[in-house]
Amino acid sequence: MSADRENHQMTDITQTDIALLLADAADEVEIGAAPVQAVIRGGRRRRARRWAMASATALVLAGSTGATLGLAGLPGGHGDGQRPMATQPSTPEARHVYEPQVTELARGTDHGTGWRVIVTVWGAPRDRTEAAVQLSAMRKYGIEPAVLPDSRHLVGKTSHYSGLYYGDHHFRTILFDTVKKWEPLSGTDLMSGAVPLNAADTDGPERLVVGTVALTARQVKCGWKDGTSTVVEPQAVAGSPVEWFACAAPAGTAYKDTEVIR
């Protein structure tokens, strides 16, 4: 990750940074606007969940019960679909409050330009001071202020951001949310969003698809408008109880649909 962070201008949060941010947080002024959030009900509408998208199309494919979010592109292990519960660490650093857990989902080259998709998962701050430091860290990390919540809304909640690095462009947020508790997914539940791959081509074809699926999902098919498709395996993401996938359409076509096929 170190070389990629330099190439894509990702800034590490050092211990000195944290100390300075903690000092500033003592007389914190609330900053940042609450992100736009959409309520999407999936499956039999037994559950409702907030999801936010930075741009382009959001869609839900209803499965057995609910809706979810994810990215695929690299294969990941599945095991029995269960993840062990661990005792929550006490310090903000151990809980990844100031430095997120980062997972790369996919990478490739488009017309000679390299790109990659990552997901960052930020631990839940326990009080307003920790929340203020986390918000400042998120800004330094490159997440756009427009998609950041007010620090008051971070307390007791986990945040996640999936985003794209394309060439020398800054981190571009795709899907994001801040929640008290992750909602379980099952069966063929799936939520995804499609955006243009090239950040400079905001009105271009939606060629990059990211989303989440249940832990039991084995394969996701991304369909393109030219009639072709790409099959990917969902991937585990550090700090996330759901699996993610990412698909990139070939040049000359665009997103049509996605579905869990196995």
pLDDT tens for the chain, residues 1 to 262: 433 443 444 444 445 455 545 545 544 434 333 333 222 223 322 233 345 555 444 443 333 333 333 333 333 444 445 555 556 668 999 999 999 999 999 999 998 999 999 999 999 999 999 999 999 999 988 888 889 999 999 999 999 999 899 998 888 888 899 999 888 889 999 988 889 988 777 778 999 999 999 999 999 999 999 999 999 999 999 999 999 999 999 999 999 999 999 9
Q: What is the largest CA-CA distance in the chain?
A: 57
Task: State the average pLDDT for the chain.
Answer: 75
What is the pLDDT, as a whole number, of residue 65? Answer: 32
d(CA 259, CA 192): 10
What is the pLDDT, as a whole number, of residue 83? Answer: 52
d(CA 100, CA 95): 9
Q: Residues 6 or more apart from 247 whose CB is under 8 A from it? A: 72, 73, 106, 208, 209, 220, 222, 230, 232, 258
- Half-sphere exposure (CA, 13 Å, Cβ side) for 162? 30
Could you tell me which residues are beta bridge partners of residue 48? Answer: 41
What is the pLDDT, as a whole number, of residue 87? Answer: 61
What is the pLDDT, as a whole number, of residue 60? Answer: 39
Q: Is the dihedral of CA 43, 45, 50, 56 positive or negative?
A: positive
Cβ atoms within 10 Å, residue 165: 24
